Amino acid sequence: MTTPQAQPHSHSTAQPVVPSVGVGVVHLFCKVGESTISEAVCKAVQSAEDEGVQVVSVAVLGHKADLAIMGLHKDLWRLRDLQTGLRRAGLDVVDSYVSLTELSEYAQGLPNETKQARLYPQLPPDGKLAWCFYPMSKRRNHKQNWYELPYEKRKALMYEHGASGRKFAGRVVQLITGSTGVDNYEWGVTLFCTHPDDLKEVVYTMRYDEVSARYGEFGPFYTGLVAPIGTICAHIL
C-alpha cells in the first residue's frame, strides 16, 4: 500500500478573505537559516507579486532580523502564501505583525484622493530608502485613559499630532495601519524616509505632542534599508 502524497496548494481551495474596505498588511521579520537559498527567496517574492501582492523588501539593521518583507493585498490568503513561500525558501520568520489599512475616525473630512491613498497605498514611495516599523497603542491607565476622553478632545489632540507630522512633508511618508483585534497592539506605523536621521527626528518630534507623551505606548522598532529583493539577498546571503 502506497502512502498518499501531499497535494500542492491550490488557490481554488480557499475562498478569498477580504476586508470590507482597504487591504490586509503583513510585516514578516526573517532570519537567514542554513537552508536559505537566495534564488528561492527571490522566487517567493516574485510569485507573490505575480499574484498582485505589493511587496516591500527591507534589509534589517541589528540583531532582530536579517530581512523584513512587507506585503499588502486585499485577499489575506495571498499574504499567507507569501509567508509560506518565504518559509519554504529557508527563511525563519522570527517576528511578524498583521494589520489592515484604515481611515481614522478623525480623518473623515479629508479629500477623497487622500482617503484612497491611505486605504490603498502604493509602496514603496520613490526615493525613500530609510525605513522603520513599530507598533503602538493608546494608554488605558488610571487618569491616562485615551478611551475615556470625549471625542472632540481626542480629535483636537490628533489634529495637533498631524500638524507635527506635516512638518516632515517631502522627507517622510507614513503609513498607519489598524491592528485592534488582529495583533498585540492597536496600530502599526511604517515610515519611509529620505535620510536615516529623518527617522529619528520625526519620531522624536512627535513624541512631544500630548497624544504621544501622555497616551502613547510603543512596541519594538525595526529599522532597515529598502531595496530590491535580489540586492538584499546579495548583502545578507
Catalytic center residues: 134
Name which of 69, 64, 51 is nearest 226 in CA terms.
69
Look at the block and give the residue holding cell 511578524. 96
60 within 8 A of 222, measured Cβ to Cβ: yes
Name which of 78, 200, 44, 70 is nearest 125 in CA terms.
70
Residue 40 to residue 91: CA distance in whole angstroms? 10
Burial zone of 166 (CB within 10 Å; 0-12 exposed, 13-18 middle, 19+ buried): exposed
